[in-house]
Amino acid sequence: MTFSYRVVWKGPVNRASGLGIASREYVRALRRQGVEVAVGTDRNRMIRNAKKHKVLIYHHSPDTLDIRNERKQFQTIIVNTVWETTRIPKRWVGPINQADAVCVPSLHNKQALRNSGIKIPIYLVPHGVHARSFTPRKKKLPSKKKQGEIRFYLRIRISAPQKSRSLAEGLLGGVFRVRQCPIDHQNQRICAL
């Protein structure tokens, strides 16, 4: 399948963060659909396909988007973003509203953008999960849990054991029991059970 457009993806595809993983998976998904995608500013590939409609998908913090400069190269600009609370930062509103569309992974994000004054079209594009990447390689931990009980494991590595314990107890708010992991004899890791 050939498309009359080509996409340049500007995002943190080389980062080992959750945002980097999401960025890579979006690029892979577009390519699996047959969309021509260049990562970054691969100008040589852009020149070869100069007749195609050029689309920028910007997957960095929206306030770092230089919309005026990008409009010189791209006919369509789409912002791809995510946000965790009910409103996005005010400094994001202007750059997003100057783009042609914005993609978000959840209905919560869509509502947060609308609550913040985003007027352009908002498209829901969930994060994909590459199932093979999340196949457990290790056996399950032995568990003596009671029926109906749910266990969460938290591993924190801090140089001072007392700070680790205090941090975990503070994060968990006394809801969970905190104990040392039997695996770590230096007391630098703790598990919350």
Residue 192's pLDDT band (cuts 50, 70, 90): very low
pTM attached to this predicted model: 0.67
* Among 25-34, 37-46, 75-84, the least confident range: 37-46
- Secondary structure class of 15 (helix, strand, coil): coil
Of 163 and 10, which is predicted with more confidence?
10
Question: Which whole-number Å values give the CA distances from 186 to 1, 96, 155, 156, 193, in the listed order?
Answer: 57, 49, 14, 13, 19
Instruction: Determine the Cα–Cα distance for residues 49 and 183; give it in Å rounded to an integer.
Output: 56
Res 22 pLDDT > 50: yes
Higher pLDDT, 152 or 183: 152
E strands in 66-143 = 76-80, 101-104, 122-124
- DSSP category for residue 63: G
Lowest mean pLDDT among 10-24, 72-86, 149-163: 149-163
The SS3 call for residue 64 is helix
Amino acid making up residue 106? S
Domains, the chain, ranges and CATH? 5-129 (3.40.50.2000), 156-192 (no CATH)
pLDDT of residue 91 exceeding 80, the answer is yes
pLDDT, tens digit (0-9, with 9 covering 90-100), for 45-58: 554 556 789 999 99
Q: Nearest 5°: phi and psi at 36?
A: -75, 115
Region 167-182: what's the mean pLDDT? 52
* Distance in angstroms (rounded) separating the CA atoms of residues 27 and 46: 17
Listed in sequence order, the residues at least 6 apart from 119 whose beta carbon sits closer than 8 Å to its beta carbon are 97
pLDDT of 184: 44
* Residue 1 predicted with pLDDT over 50: yes
For residues 86 and 130, which has the higher predicted lDDT (pLDDT)?
A: 86
Helix (H) or strand (E) holding 39: strand 37-39
Query: What pLDDT score was predicted for residue 173?
Result: 53
Using an 8 Å Cβ cutoff, are 176 and 192 in contact? yes
Q: Residue 57 forms beta bridges with which residues?
A: 9, 78
Asked if pLDDT for residue 72 goes beyond 90, the answer is yes
Residue 161's φ and ψ, nearest 5 degrees, are: -55, -40
104-151 pLDDT tens trace: 999 999 999 999 999 999 999 988 766 666 666 666 666 666 666 666
